[in-house]
Structure 1
Amino acid sequence: MKNVFIGFLLICICSAVRAHDHSIGLHGMVLFLVDERIYASHLPMPSGKHAVQFIFEAQLPTQYRAQLMPFLKANTLVTVRPETFSLNKLRSGYLTQFSGDIFIGHFERTGKIKYMDVTFQVQSILLNKPVSASQHNGQFYTLGLGNNTCLLVHKIGKSPSFDQIAKAQCDYHAGQTSELSSSINGPFTTFELTDFVNAETLYLETTDFK
């Protein structure tokens, strides 16, 4: 009888913990390619459970990876509608894989489903920051990927803002990160800082931040 009570108590505790995890939801993502590596970026929002900028290298099953390469190399918009999960667990490293459906285009707009129930494994986390809408819109996270390549990720600020991810040539080593300020208060086409050249936008979203 005692063991039954303890088991029931543990179930109640686990249920209560889950109920208070307000990060549980459908956390859409965009996929992009850098140097033959596939990365996924959580689609952030200005506030609420989705107010997180989270980017990681993703490992996909070989057959899906090969078939997606032409789309990603052409910088076609590819998004993921994943299963419901805890973003907090993904951010903490407790959740290391999830499944989702891959869309060509934006899955919440006019995107067309391409593959269903694909498994994504988290290889390494590059960026894991909450959105702080109190700042201006001229700041960027810089993330070294190695091979003289960096990601420039706009640090989402007060509305109207934008989510922009670009790659550029740089002298950062893999894993080196910093934050830089730009005088441009909107999406850039040519990054003004001379340490970053040949910048190319991989993803840009403005609609969700008006």
Structure 2
Amino acid sequence: MKTLLSILLLCLSLLLAAQTPHQHDYTGSHGMVLFAANDSLLVSHLPLYRPPHDYQLVYEVALPAGIQHAVLAQLQHNSLLTLLPADFDLRRMINANVFSVDADIYQGHFERGGERWLSGIAVTFRRQLYQRRLPDVNKLAENGSYTAFSHHDQLFLLHQIGTAPGYDHLLKVSALPPVLQFHHSTPQQVLGLIQQQGIQVQQLYLETQDFQP
């Protein structure tokens, strides 16, 4: 009986040990792109196909007042700013929690030659605006569909990333296009198709390298 119990306890401990890395892999480095909706700051999580990074997430965030003003001024000049928080559990964003974490802000993409501009800034994640999990990489999902969201009277389009080769694409528009599906179109073609409808469009972010086969 003792031998059987010992075996069961050993199996249980091995099972828990095997699960531990999976339970904690949500905690790590999760980069984001910063953008503005009038005087409000937003971030879009930079997803990847592999779990646990396979989530598109948009959040309203707040920085200390003086720093927020400086960041908004940079964004008004169409600067690309990316945010690299200290390691945290991505489930806090997935579950729409309110929380704070320190972060560095980069001019440019922090993984594409960007330069660190501000360090150790307290960022408060106030409100989740959008959440979507990327499709299973083993199941075909077309690229070309966009979702619309608004904040502080500003309109945005976010590409719903499909299977590889996909792309992460964030746009600011003056009005909603009547159709949000641009199948078999490149990001550049999408910009042209929206402009042809008399809609002003600004590309805030585009990433293709992370979504290749």
TM-score higher than 0.5? yes
**Which of 78, 83, 104 lines up with 1:80 in the alignment?**
83
**In 1, are the aligned partners of 2:56 and 2:132 still within 8 Å (CA)?**
yes
Residues 100 and 118, structure 1, Cα contact 8 Å, conserved in 2: yes
Aligned length: 189
* Residue number in structure 2 paired with 1:10: none
For the aligned residue pairs, the C-alpha RMSD in angstroms reads 2.6
What is the TM-score when the length of structure 2 is the normalising length? 0.79
Does structure 2 retain, via aligned residues, the 8 Å contact 1:101–1:116? yes
What SS does the aligned partner of 1:180 have? coil
Deviations 1:32-67 (A, max 9, x none): 122222111111112222111001111110121122
Write the letter of the residue equivalent to 2:87: T
TM-score computed with the length of structure 1 as normaliser: 0.80
Same amino acid, percent of matched pairs: 26
Moved more, 92-101 or 43-52: 92-101
Cα deviation for residue 119 of structure 1 reads: 1.0
Alpha-carbon spacing, 1:114–1:193, altered in 2? closer, same or farther (3 Å): closer
| Structure 1 gaps, min length 5 | 1-12, 173-178
Matched, 1:154 2:159: yes
Q: What's the CA shift for 1:103?
A: 0.9
- Counterpart contact for 1:143–1:152, Cα < 8 Å: yes
Q: Which runs of 5+ in 2 are unaligned?
A: 1-15
Which has the larger share of strand? 1
Higher-Rg member (1/2): 2
Give the match for residue 115 of structure 1: 118
Q: Is it true that 1:170 corresponds to 2:172 in the alignment?
A: no
Change (3 A) 1:144 1:191: farther
Note closer, same or farther for the CA distance 1:171–1:41 as it changes in structure 2 (3 Å cut): closer
- The answer for the alignment partner of 2:186 in structure 1 is 186
